[in-house]
Chain A
């Protein structure tokens, strides 16, 4: 059942009799990938759980109107990315009020206190370096380095040109290298 194509799932979803079953199949197929996409942005597992649930509610509401001009997975990825970024902005606003507090501080705190981080010292330093990147570079680096996505896929998710993405990734790699060298990793 899990091998159903996206088109089959969408067709089932548009039929009221099979709508719930279709959404269950969609979740089984994509929930892990969406989780990791969000987790790399918000860092903490608990925050990721909240954001993922809100993302899935939005997907449920919008899936009936989804048309296959773009790939379903691209659309899902875009919703989860936007939801995660909105969550971070809201968290920053709540934490710092109208002040100019740095989002990186919050992310570093989440990273250091996260009980579900299983990496060694070098991986922790790498994650710190990633957290300190500007938002766009962080997104691109995670998608390219960890998810091994093609620039074309990233381009359709982030709606940025391939050239700009390549430049962002290049800058991100340089900054991470500098950070790791400074930390003697």
Chain B
């Protein structure tokens, strides 16, 4: 279940890499588990101006490295299947997506079970100074879509989310009401939010309120 990566060229344990997922039995709870969105989805309205869904228990890896580190950039591209995107861009390859976060930081999201394997492959493929951190338990993904989704974001973030400034594929980290979020436009009327775990309840409270006038539809 866990191992310590010791690259061949180095003798000592450099970085502790850990498979954080247990077998089947232990129960995993996403940051919004307590909100019981499945029940809300079943009992709540089916039509409305905004659709909200938690994409829970995904694998989240933070990649840190310099664009000038060729071993880092090429290693990432080789393993991910896409090049690390440039400023404010995102990229997708199959069930994997990558977001630019800062000049030396990217966020990769994959199905939860793939995170550990992906981290090992990335570490094997990369060289030089870089870091990878598994943050799968520390954040969650919400999708916000529908004809009024953009209006809800206008209540929530000071960033200009008009399509002329925020086209499909663009990703930013900004203020999200009184917390922050990674916000990506995934379609004309759809957005993806990455929210920190401890703020998830606040974000959920906020979104329920901000969406109320348009009719909020929760999807399980």
A and B are interacting partners: no
